[in-house]
Chain A
């Protein structure tokens, strides 16, 4: 997602509030597709085409399953009907939340520093985003070393499950601690302990586009609720 297509953070929070209100107050399972549709549109407007397309497909699959369950007596041996329903119902929230947490970290930290949040808090937030890809790489590295040392043979894994857990956890955790230390040294040497308000590179004020988006969120939610009440 590109930073310039992204809505301002307050709009995103407002959108989250709207879908929450919609899903919690409204009781019509099937009609939540209005909210989900709105959420998909919201992603498209922010040029997050990839997520919109892939989640769109997943949602269609859910719709198909739900249709089968509701009208054709489909019963599921794996992944129970309850989960299908839950995922369907919570889809709009998933989408808007995911969009919020994948906001370019620079924008999030700019928003938080405008709120006068303390620097350590903002650093904690920044660090999480960098961390997931790193953790994947490290985990792969551990797996590779285990393979190399012959620690991944099926017999070994089954006969000593706790020991295998140790072989994965210990290097991984030691690495995480090491990373945390290196990051803190790097932050420390670059003025992170300085008290006071933090500045930000990505200064972005809410524009007309953001105001329209916020209004649209409210309208979609309200129309869903009105429709849902009139049908009840």
Chain B
């Protein structure tokens, strides 16, 4: 392939397929974790971002052009949009733009350090996928819960992870750390496998 900044058919197909892999991992982890409040609200984002980091790094370094992250985040946003969480579409576009800004300086191909930085920030921001729907639907839920005769303490305990600053700090820290660790694993895999396999 000629090295140009124009997107070729191959770039489009690779981006779309790897984004699909990422989105499948994210949705599957999200669905499985729904069974348990603690796992779903505290751990799921961290797990997702850890698993996705190597795929993301492979995608960005394979294509080596600008806007890969933005496209991926937009696709992710569209999927959430189609699942009824429309506010996540603009949210993820902004997230994608922030990641692009981090990757921008080195031109087309961000080095591993920049990719790690971008994904770590993305991990922090991906918490929106849990937080925003709750904030968004909270009023309806609250009314319904009161009408169903739930006690105030029961309702409060449900959102305790997102209202107590201690828990919130832990969640944000945990997801960011997991995203970062994922990138460490990702860089190792890239060096050990993908560079050697000549696909980068």
Contact = CB atoms under 8 A, between A and B. Distances in A.
Interface of A: 16, 20, 23-24, 27, 29, 69-71, 73, 75, 78-83, 85-86, 89-90, 93-94, 97, 100-101, 119-121, 123-125, 127-128, 131-132, 135, 162, 165-166, 169-170, 172-174, 176-177, 179-181, 183-184, 187-188, 192-193
Interface stretch (B95-103, B110-118, B141-149, B171-179): B141-149
B17 A176 contact: yes
A123 B84 contact: no
Nearest to B149: A73
B86 interface: yes
A85 to B, nearest CB: 6
B158 A80 contact: yes
Contact of A100 (B12, B20, B82): B82
A93 B84 contact: yes
B17 A127 contact: yes
A32 to B, nearest CB: 10
Contacts of A192: 9
Q: Closest 4 interchain pairs by CB?
A: A90-B84, A184-B10, A97-B82, A93-B84
B141 A85 contact: yes
Q: Select the residue from A20, A71, A135, A176 with max chain B CB neighbours within 10 A.
A: A176
Contact of B13 (A85, A127, A135): A127
Contact of A131 (B7, B12, B17): B17
Nearest to B133: A86
8 contacts: A70-B148, A78-B36, A82-B137, A90-B84, A123-B9, A123-B13, A162-B185, A177-B199
Contacts of A94: 83-84
Main secondary structure of the interface of B (DSSP, over half): helix
Given A81-B150, A119-B9, A162-B185, 20 more contacts: A23-B84, A70-B147, A75-B150, A78-B36, A80-B158, A81-B145, A81-B148, A90-B83, A90-B85, A97-B82, A97-B83, A127-B16, A166-B185, A166-B193, A169-B55, A174-B199, A179-B17, A180-B10, A180-B18, A192-B9
B16 A128 contact: yes
B185 A165 contact: yes
A20 B86 contact: yes
B51 interface: yes
A180 B193 contact: no
Contact of A121 (B10, B12, B62, B193): B12
Nearest to A187: B9
Nearest to A68: B148
A82 B24 CA distance: 23
Contact of B9 (A100, A179, A184): A184
A70 B9 contact: no
A155 B185 CA distance: 21
B35 A173 contact: no
A83 B34 contact: yes
A124 B72 CA distance: 12
Given A73-B148, A94-B84, A135-B24, A123 B12 contact: yes
